[in-house]
A = this chain, B = another copy of it.
Amino acid sequence: MTSTLRIGIAGLGRLGRRHAENLAFRVRGCQLVSACSPVAAELDAAQRELGVTRLHADFDAFVRDPDIDAVVLVTPTALHAEQVIAALAAAKHVFVEKPLALGVADCERVERAARAHADRVAMVGFVRRFDASYAHARAHIEQGGIGRPFLVRSQTCDLLDPSGAFLKFAPTSGGIYMDCSVHDIDLARWMLGSPRATRVFASGTIAVHDELAAIGDVDNGLAIVEFDGGARAVFYASRTFAHGHETQTEVIGTAGKLLVGAGAARDRLQIADAHGVRQLAVADFVERFADAFLHEMQAFVDACRGEQRLALTLNDATEATRIGQAITRSLKSAMPESV
């Protein structure tokens, strides 16, 4: 066995904490030794509950710590690019949550930095690629199971939060397409064999959260993407589903069709009562992708330790941002936009 990977995590919010727990207790081949957060209580909890010994309020000190080999960044999107570049400069492997950046230029700067540190792993958290069902879908396509895939329909739809808590992050999230559809964009490219997107069209509506109008965002958005070679994708993102979180992706090929995630069932329990025959839905992406988050982090650690190569590249993140930004422009211009 190669030596244990020493990891530090920056960002201990809800998702950061989830990653930290996986790294501390469930991912093999690593040790979570360091954490960075501006919130003292989060650091305190990391020490007490996760056994983290090196605590940082300052990112620079955190990232330069010679006693860590790799960093996991679950920080605000606006900080991603600089932090990834800093981590690479400090010779750390780096995992960063999606999206890599809201701007294509930033993504490309990160790509250049990664090329300059080609011996370091740099990975973006497109977690769905690590979900068993999506992985099986992709494998089925690669084996020719649906012929030539030419159309993807994909959605990321969140349970309505009547409190509107997400509104706090909405102005800096890049909008619904960058926040939600970026996963669908990546999935579409992955399933279709990474064709080049040429043009997009977006149209959305506000169903519940009227506050979004002021920032040019919507709570339900549709988008069509045209790819070179004729493939098409259509996306749907919603923040207002009544029954639960429903991530669903359909890949249509000349010899068959795949559908991942129909119905959003939480588990294998079916209830039959006065409401009919029903399954309860997953509440959010954290519940839906609990296993995938673990597999994703394991894949990162395995890659850092040289045990496995990643199929997912930084350029995949750049392309997802490029398409997501074009869709976001289209929502505002109400016209098709070139990618």
* Interface 9-residue window, one of A96-104, A119-127, A272-280, A311-319: A272-280
Any chain B CB within 8 A of the CB of A252?
A: yes
CB within 8 Å for A271 and B145 given contacts A255-B242, A335-B336: yes
* Interface 9-residue window, one of A68-76, A86-94, A231-239: A231-239
Is B254's CB under 8 angstroms from A259's CB?
Answer: no
Any chain B CB within 8 A of the CB of A165?
A: no
Any chain B CB within 8 A of the CB of A203?
A: yes
Contact of A243 among B205, B234, B277 (CB under 8 A): B277
Q: Mark A156-167, 1 if CB is under 8 A from B, else 0.
A: 000010000000
Is B260's CB under 8 angstroms from A272's CB?
Answer: no
A270 — which chain B residues lie within 8 A by C-beta?
258-260, 262-263
Q: What is the CA–CA distance of A255 and B279 in the complex, to the nearest angstrom?
A: 16
* Interface 9-residue window, one of A33-41, A132-140, A171-179: A132-140
Q: What is the CA–CA distance of A271 and B258 in the complex, to the nearest angstrom?
A: 5
Query: What are 19 contact pairs spanning A and B, CB under 8 A?
Result: A25-B28, A133-B269, A136-B267, A145-B271, A150-B205, A151-B238, A201-B201, A207-B254, A241-B252, A242-B255, A242-B257, A243-B272, A257-B272, A258-B272, A262-B263, A263-B277, A272-B281, A276-B278, A335-B335
A residues whose Cβ falls under 8 Å from a Cβ of B: 1, 24-26, 28, 51, 131-134, 136-137, 140, 145-148, 150-151, 153, 160, 201, 203-208, 220, 222, 224, 226, 230-232, 234, 236, 238, 240-244, 246, 252-281, 291, 334-336
